[in-house]
Amino acid sequence: MRKPDRFNEVVEDVKKMGFNPSKFQFVVAVEALISLSKLTWKRKMEVYERWGWSEEETVSAFVRCPACMKKSEENIMAKLNFYVNTMGWESSPIAHVPELMLLSLDKRIIPRCLVFQILLSKGLIKKLVSAGKLLRSKESLFLEKIVNCYEEAPQLKLYQEKLDLSK
């Protein structure tokens, strides 16, 4: 339940961002934006800005994936810190794949990135895989294309064992 004036304001803001009112993403964006106060929206914009995202990149990420603004500031910071400082990735390209901000750091991001780093360090893969492909692919595809292909790296069995333990 929201005040009608606030609801109308959010609907207009979402339209101005370029959302199509006849698409489901419009509803998702309204729901996301209405759940945030203006101060909270501003603080989250500042968090992304601290990691080098421009205002345009952050709004564009929101348009692609409205839920990326619903994550806590701590969650956003932790993920971007891992991507940039641990993985050595540039921050700005992540804005083009904002779904990466929705993934679980402990259950998906860290385990898959560790597998990738093991394979890279052993010279088993030479081609850099995009963060989107590495992290967004279905578990079965990740296992088939990355983990199961490289039996020379016994450390990868730990990834499979972790999956078995979590069931």
Q: What percentage of residues in the chain have a pLDDT greater than 70?
A: 89
Which domain-ending residue is among 99, 114, 145? 99
pLDDT tens by residue, 14-24: 999 999 999 99
Which domain-ending residue is among 99, 116, 139? 99
Confidence class for position 164, pLDDT limits 50, 70, 90:
low
Average pLDDT of span 119-132: 79
Report how far apart, in Å, the C-alpha atoms of 34 and of each of 11, 23, 104, 130 are. Answer: 9, 17, 24, 33
d(CA 145, CA 156): 13
Ranking 41-50, 66-75, 79-88, 131-140 by mean pLDDT, the lowest is 131-140
Structurally, the chain folds into a number of domains equal to 2
Domain that holds residue 158: 105-165
